[in-house]
Amino acid sequence: DIQMTQSPSTLSASVGDRVTITCRASQSISSWLAWYQQKPGKAPKLLIYKASNLESGAPSRFSGSGSGTEFTLTISSLQPDDFATFYCQQYNSHPNTFGQGTKLEI
Amino acid sequence: EVQLVESGGGLVQPGGSLRLSCVASGFTFNSDWMSWVRQAPGKRLEWVANIKPDGRETAYLDSVRGRFTISRDNAKKSLYLQMNSLRVEDTAVYYCASIGVDYGDYFDNWGQGVLVTVSS
């Protein structure tokens, strides 16, 4: 199985900050990567698919980049509603697998 | 508005069975691949199973193959997960999710989740 590793595991930031979360795959996954946001006790919400495509309805301050084995999720200007845990997911090969999560804290 | 509503979770002893259900609305259910994804307490998300729109093709995580069965009833806009021979390590919140319209198994809509606890 492809292993997905996110860094950092926890990130402290303030409203208005620009933040970047990194996701690394144990082998190349081309651009088959998605990003999700999850708040406590809630279901994940899709933000980005195919590494850089913004899901309909997701705020434009979220952007994704990368290909191969290294990917980033960037939030251009943090808003109060953005504090949550973020997960990457590869869907290049079966079984699709998720990173361990990055908790974004105030 | 897309809605996925799960039910059927609860407490079960090791070796027992449970059947999860998910009712869909707000999209063309019979056109979409569907999945179950789970999350053990404090752990990362884990894909469990997929099913093709017509129900004729399925895929499973190795650790549940032979114990879990995914199925669907398109007339009822419902997805199911029959879980047999449950283990303590199957304890998790189980989410019903639809697979995105672009190529590949990413998940564009999720239910609120249902808790399954396997314990003696």
Over the stretch A42-69, which tens digit does the pLDDT of each residue have?
Answer: 999 999 999 999 999 999 999 999 999 9
B44-79 pLDDT, tens per residue? 999 999 999 999 999 999 999 999 999 999 999 999
Q: What residues does A20 pair with on adjacent strands?
A: A74
Picking from B95, B108, B111, the nearest residue to A55 by CB comes out as: B108
Cα–Cα separations (whole angstroms), residue A32 to A10, A28, A70, A105: 24, 9, 11, 27
Interface of A with B in 43-62 (CB under 8 A): 43-46, 49-50, 53, 55
Stretch B74-99: mean pLDDT: 98
Q: What is the pLDDT of residue B22?
A: 98
Residue of B33, B44, B109 to mutate when probing chain A, most A C-beta within 10 A: B44
A23 touches chain B (CB under 8 A): no
Instruction: Copy the structure tokens of residue B82.
Output: 């029959």
B95/A43 CB distance under 8 A? yes
A42/B112 CB distance under 8 A? yes
Q: What is the pLDDT of residue B104?
A: 84
A65-75 pLDDT, tens per residue? 999 999 999 99
**Helix, strand or coil, per DSSP, at residue B2:** coil
Cα–Cα separations (whole angstroms), residue B10 to A28, B55, B108, B120: 39, 26, 26, 13
Q: How far apart are CA B22 and CA B35, in angstroms?
A: 10
Q: What is the pLDDT of residue B101?
A: 83
Q: What is the DSSP secondary structure assignment for residue B17, as one 8-state letter? A: -
User: Residue A106, exposed/middle/buried by CB under 10 A (0-12, 13-18, 19+)?
Assistant: exposed
Picking from A49, A94, A98, the nearest residue to B44 by CB comes out as: A98
Total Cβ atoms within 10 A of residue B42: 6
At residue B14 the predicted structure's pLDDT band, cuts being 50, 70 and 90, is very high
Which amino acid would we find at residue A67? S
